[in-house]
Every structure is written in structure tokens, then in C-alpha cells.
Amino acid sequence: MRIESIRQAEHLGSVKIHGVRRILELDSGSRQGASGKSGSEAQRIDKGDIAAIEGKMAIVLPVKSEDPKVFEGVLAGVPHDCLPIIVSNSQRGEIDHFKSEQDILERFCQATQRQAIIVHQRDPFLARAIECAGYPEILDEDGFIRHGKSEGMLTGLFLAAMMGKEYIGYIDTDNFIPGAVWEYVKHYAIGFYLSTSPYTMVRILWRYKPKMLGELYFKKWGRVSELTNKHLNHFLSTKGRFETEIIKTANAGEHAMSIDLAMRLNYASGYAIETQELISILEQFGGLLPIADRTIAEKGVDIIQTETINPHLHEEREDSEHLYRDMLIPSLSVIYHSQACEESTRELIRNQIAEIEGLKLEEDVPQVTLLPPPQKADLARFAGELADQLNDISIPHGWMMAEKQTIHGTSSAAHKVVYTDLDGTLLHPVSNSYAPALTALRQLQERQIPVIFCSAKTHAEQTELRRELEVKDPFIVENGGAIFVPKDYFRLPFTYTKANQVEYVIELGALYDDIKQRLKLVAESGPGRFTTFGDMSIEEIAQVSGLNLRMAQLAKEREYSETVVMQGDKRETESVLDAITKQGLSWVFGGRFYEVSLGADKGKAVKILNELYRMNYGQIVTYGLGDGQNDAPLLAAVHHALLVQNADKRWSNLKVKDPIKVKDIGPSGWSRAVSEWVLKSP
Ligand code: GDP
Ligand code: CO
């Protein structure tokens, strides 16, 4: 296909809104021209590139008792590589429209060797799965998924995400022209192909062909989109320095999103859903409200608008009044009620609604119910609850069961995650050797079980050790002072404090300078003798710690904590610790030294990572390995707490519920714990 090059775009915060682009050729042949380069008039997109995206796309088809012939035509228009997901709210019972939709789909899939999903929006098992997943907002008082196209669309989103799709596109099933359906999907794929961000929305502008339709309806639709665009553009203009008319698709029913974006938006129930999607993007990522997710803000959100060549012809409701009542007023309402809407835009909207509806001055614009981002729902639980129905909702029946492992969260085996302390656990308490644990570590790596270091050691020290052991997983430094997550490790974005070249950093503890400052005050108050790694030379650190010179240097590179070396007797030590606490600092005993920090928390760090793994992998089962007191919060935050022996062949006495006491010291105990506990369980 060939599409116009972008001529115009508006930026708001990290959102880029592209001006409408026209399709120039539906088929651009097989010869590669000189196109595709920036600066040229047009851009050619290869068939293969389009197909690759279609393979990752679900097309959600909401249907409510449409003409079977029209429905069949729509199916035929959906490109072969996409996964159709039909969400029906059609009549059932004596005259069973849903049953005939199922039959049509079955015949279609059989003849074309395709797979599809079909559900009825009012099926109790769907409602139950959504409720268990923690998204009760779309249920009605009777516990069913509410009637309505937007609730149907959200149901489709859950299913598409469960199937591990990257993109979701919506197509109405009352479309008379299969070629138009086909073209919409191509536009979606082109939009995703052209976008430079993983967070993309593609919206389609189509022109009615008025002659074939009721004149009245045509005019009204034109008016609805004109007015919604106008007010949304006014909303935008108040945010920038220039007036803009960039948005032409404020009501576009035909649109698509990357799933990662779709999961993060606030939705409106009813026909304002498409306008609200734009509002939600602008609010969250346009810098209008506090940034919800920094990763997205960094990568940016692309809103791409394209115009189709095929005419748009669809089934008309007899009652064309609904366009004003159900679409225009609610669409204006979501703009009006946005927290980011300026008074001048509100004024304009009030007047507009007063003109159409006769809204009285003292009345406020009626509010539309908003739904929270689906992101908050637990997809694994959704999938788990649906497990028994997968057979029925997949056409041909059973294919989803056969491909179960591709379905997010339905595989019975939970992902295992291992957290481990280093000093005295993976590393021998006396010799610092990890040799006895090496075989077990390799076994974990072969099975792709993450091994997360969680220790008092610094970023510099752990980086060295991770390189030696070829461990590539996230790690927790300085007793929970910060979590480092390799970039591109998790598929889904998350909030972090800062980034270095290779890692995102989630900081939990105060910075070193702050801690140092407070320790100075402790020293000045004179409770007893002590010194810190910060005040010692590398040689001195090596001497007291038994580390070699290089490791001693890395141990000195502290960012979130300070190591305190006590120099007095027991009583002196106690009063120093007391003074440390009085300064608002906290300390843990690491066996020989005291690690002093502020806000650092191994347990909290483990819980954050648990959450990230759960979000990305669905169900997880966690193991923690430790040896001493300062591992208690780590061990309390995992499913299976494994305690190895200290140098004296005894176990530390920890305040953790039922730790599993593993025979053997440090790395030997580690090895035994991995083979007897982590690898043994299914
Ligand atoms: P319009 O074409 O924008 O006027 O809106 P329609 O009422 O025709 O609906 C557009 C699409 O949504 C059509 O494919 C309908 O069959 C479908 N639809 C309408 N209401 C519902 C509903 O409650 N649930 C589902 N799943 N689909 C619906
Ligand atoms: Co319609």
C-alpha cells in the first residue's frame, strides 16, 4: 500500500497527534521504488510488513442482532492473519441470533482454515471471570456485564490481551462493504508500522456516501463529528500557543490501539468511548495531569489518523435522534468533565448543549460513567476462570485448549522466581566462594528461572558478580535501597525513578549524602567509637572485611546506605545504634558490620518485583534464600523461605514464620535448597 507522508503533527507533552493522511494506493505492487524515504511525497509499505503486524492483531467485532449476511461480509473482510474476536449482545432464546452467529463463524472458519473467538457479553461465566480479575466496574446490579457496545469492546480487550496479542482493532459488524472492513484493518497495520512508539492509536476518518442513505442521518452524523472535533480541538488549542484543527476523528468508531496503551486508558461507557480514549491519552500523557507512567511518557504516544478510500455504508437505526442523545452530548460531556478542560472550552460546550438540548443555565452537563484502566485487572485470574470455557468460545472448538501455553496465565505451572541473599548465602560466609552453588545456579538459568540478588552489596559489587555468573535478572542493592531492572527485561512498562545506560532504577532509600550527613551528627553527639566504609581507605576495608582490594573498592561505592564498623565494646555499640535510630536512620546487622540506611527495605523491594513479575508473567511462585537476620524481610515476602546454615553449622534465629531449614552452610545449602525445593516442585 502507499500512503501520504506526514505533513502536519501537533505535540502535547509526550503525545504526538498526526494530521490525517490519505491512502494513495491500496496495492502498491511488488517493485520496491525509491519511496519510503523521508521527504518524499508518499510512503510505500510492504505487504510482508503489514502481514507481520496483522499476525499480532486481534480484531474485535461487537455485534447486536445484525443482518446475518452483513455479518458474514464483515468476517470475509477481516484479513486472514488477524484473530477475530466476536463479542455479541444479540438476542437469544426462541429466535436465537447468537446461535446463528456461532454457526456462521463456524462455517467461515472451517472453509477458510481460520481461528476465532466468540462470546456472548451476557454469559455469566464471562462476568464471573471479569469480577475475579478485579474489574467489577463493567458489571450491572445483577452481576452480568452491562449491555452496551463499549462494555462489549472492553470484553474484547480482555480476551485480546489474554491471547497475548499486541494490537487490538475495532470494526462494527453492521458494515455493508467487506472491502471497507479490509481497508480499515490495513490502515491499522500501517499505522502501527509507521509509529515509532509502542504506545499507538490509529483512528480512521471515512466519508459517508450521502446519496445512498437517508439525507437526514447523513447530515446529523456530519454534524456530530464536526462538533465533537471542534470542541476537542478547542480543548487542545487552550493548551498550546496556536489554534489547531488537527483532530478529525474524535468519534471514530473504527480505530485500533497497541494493547499496552489500551490497558492504560480510562473508558467511558456508551458511545462517548472513542472521544474519551483521546481525552484519557491527553490527560495522562499530554502533561495535563500528573504523569501516570513515566516509561510511556518517555517513549511517547502516537495518535495516527488516516482517511479511507472505500465508502462507509452501514445499517442505520430508524431513530437518528440517537446520534445527538447517545453520541454527541456524551462526547461533549467527557471533554467538558475532563479535569484538564479549561473554563473557556466548558463555556463553549455549555452553550452548544443548550442550543441542541435546551440545557438550562443552572443545570450542569450530565456526566458519563467512566471506567478505570483495565490494567488494574489480573489477566491471569481472568484466564484461569475461563479455563473451562476455552473449548466452547474458540472456533473451531478446542483450538485454544491446544495452544494453551500461548494464553496469558492459563498454563497450570506458575513461573518460579528466586530471590537470594549473597554474603553467607550464595557466597560462603568465610571463603566468599560460590563454587558449591554453581551447578544449581546453571540449572535455574537453563529453566529460565530468574535469580534475583538481594543483598547489602552495592550496585558496583553486584554488577561484577552478575557478570561473573552471567546472571541477567533484576537485582536489589544495599539492603533494599534500590532495585535495578535491565532495560527491556519486562514487556510491560512500570514506574521507575531514574535510568542509567542499561538499567531502570527504582529507588526506595534516601541517597548516600543524606545518610552521611546524619551519621556525622551521630558522631558529633559522641555516643561511642565507630567508623564507616566511606571514611576508610580501600586497604582498610579489605583488611576488616576480608575482601580483595578490587571488591573492597566496589564495596565503597555506596549510593543508598553506609556501612558502619563499630570500634567499641557492646555497650558503646548499643548507644551508637541508639543515636543512629534517633537520627531517623535504620540499621541492620549484616554479620560483621551494620548497614545504615533510610527508607531502604529488602521486603518492599521484593514485593515490588513480585508485582512486576506477576504483571508480566501472570501467576508466580516465589522462593527466598537467606542466612541471617537482615534477610528476614526478604524471606517474609516470598512463598517459600529457605534458610541456609551459618559457618557454625547452625541456623540464625529469625522472626519469620516457618522458614525451611536447609542443611549445609552458605552455597552448599543454596545448592541443596535449589534442587530439593525450587526444582522439585512442579
Ligand atoms: P452506530 O452504527 O454507531 O449507530 O451504532 P450501532 O448501534 O449500529 O452499533 C455499532 C456496532 O456495535 C454494531 O456492530 C452493533 O452490532 C454493535 N453493538 C451495538 N450495541 C451493542 C452491545 O450492547 N453489545 C455489543 N457487543 N455490540 C453492540
Ligand atoms: Co451502525
The CA–CA distances, whole Å, from 358 to 280, 310, 350, 362 equal 28, 37, 10, 12
Query: Which of the ligands is closest to the CA of residue 254?
Result: 1
pLDDT at residue 365 in the model: 86
- Per residue in 350-374, is it b (16+ CB within 10 Å) or e — as a string? bebbeeebebeeeeebeebebbebb
Rounded distance between C-alpha atoms, residue 85 and residue 617, angstroms:
23
Q: Which atom of ligand 1 is nearest to the CA of 322?
A: 4
Query: Which of the ligands is closest to the CA of residue 323?
Result: 1
Quick: pLDDT tens for 501-520: 999 999 999 999 999 999 99
d(CA 227, ligand 2 centre) in Å: 19
Report the 10 Å Cβ neighbour count for 485.
21
Residue 349, exposed/middle/buried by CB under 10 A (0-12, 13-18, 19+)?
buried
Rounded distance between C-alpha atoms, residue 506 and residue 612, angstroms:
12
pLDDT exceeds cutoff 80 at 217: no
Region 419-448: mean pLDDT is 93
Q: Name the closest-CA residue to atom 23, ligand 1.
A: 148
Residue to substitute in 63, 78, 173, 218 for testing ligand 1 pocket (most ligand atoms within 8 angstroms of CB) = 63
Q: Which backbone phi and psi does 153 adopt, to 5 degrees?
A: -65, -40
Quick: pLDDT tens for 449-461: 999 999 999 999 9
Q: Which atom of ligand 1 is nearest to the CA of 65?
A: 16
Classify 133 as helix, strand or coil.
coil
d(CA 367, ligand 1 centre) in Å: 21
d(CA 579, ligand 2 centre) in Å: 72
Question: What does the angle CA 367 – CA 240 – CA 245 come to, to the nearest 5 degrees?
Answer: 75
d(CA 115, ligand 1 centre) in Å: 23
d(CA 271, ligand 1 centre) in Å: 9
Q: Which atom of ligand 1 is nearest to the CA of 323?
A: 4
- Which residues face 12 on adjacent strands? 15
Grid coordinates belonging to 16: 504526538
Provide the 8-state DSSP code for 422.
T
Secondary structure (H, E, C), 244-299: CCCCCCCCCCCEEEEHHHHCCCCEECCCCHHHHHHHHHHHHHCCCCCCCCHHHHHH
Quick: pLDDT tens for 582-602: 999 999 887 788 999 998 889
Rounded distance between C-alpha atoms, residue 286 and residue 379, angstroms:
27
Q: Does the CA dihedral 475-480-484-489 come out positive or negative?
A: positive
Residue type, 249: T
Q: Name the closest-CA residue to atom 20, ligand 1.
A: 149
- Ligand 1 neighbours, Cβ below 6 Å, are 62-64, 66, 87-89, 121, 147-149, 152, 172-174, 253, 314, 317
The catalytically annotated residue of 302, 421, 601, 631 is: 421
Alpha-carbon Rg for the chain in angstroms:
30
Q: Name the closest-CA residue to atom 21, ligand 1.
A: 149
Region 559-576: mean pLDDT is 93
Query: Which of the ligands is closest to the CA of residue 70?
Result: 1
Q: Name the closest-CA residue to atom 28, ligand 1.
A: 149
Q: Name the closest-CA residue to atom 10, ligand 1.
A: 172
pLDDT at residue 488 in the model: 83
How does strand 21-25 pair with strand 301-307?
Answer: parallel
Rounded distance between C-alpha atoms, residue 68 and residue 81, angstroms:
23
- Which residues face 307 on adjacent strands? 22, 205
Rounded distance between C-alpha atoms, residue 104 and residue 482, angstroms:
56
Rounded distance between C-alpha atoms, residue 646 and residue 427, angstroms:
11
Residue type, 671: S
Residue to substitute in 61, 64, 158 for testing ligand 1 pocket (most ligand atoms within 8 angstroms of CB) = 64
Question: Catalytic annotation on 421?
Answer: yes
- Is residue 681 within 8 Å of 414, Cβ to Cβ? no
pLDDT exceeds cutoff 60 at 58: yes
Region 104-132: mean pLDDT is 96
Residue to substitute in 157, 170, 172 for testing ligand 1 pocket (most ligand atoms within 8 angstroms of CB) = 172
Q: Which of 30-44, 63-77, 323-337, 388-402 has the lowest mean pLDDT?
A: 30-44
Quick: pLDDT tens for 154-179: 999 999 999 989 999 999 999 999 99
Quick: pLDDT tens for 659-682: 999 999 999 999 999 999 998 876
Query: Which of the ligands is closest to the CA of residue 217?
Result: 1
d(CA 4, ligand 2 centre) in Å: 28
Query: Which of the ligands is closest to the CA of residue 325?
Result: 1
d(CA 314, ligand 2 centre) in Å: 5
pLDDT at residue 35 in the model: 47
Q: Does the CA dihedral 317-318-319-324 come out positive or negative?
A: positive
Q: Which backbone phi and psi does 293 adopt, to 5 degrees?
A: -145, 110
Res. 440 pLDDT band, cuts 50 70 90: very high
Q: Which atom of ligand 1 is nearest to the CA of 87?
A: 26
Q: Name the closest-CA residue to atom 17, ligand 1.
A: 63
Q: Does the CA dihedral 627-632-634-639 come out positive or negative?
A: positive
d(CA 216, ligand 2 centre) in Å: 15
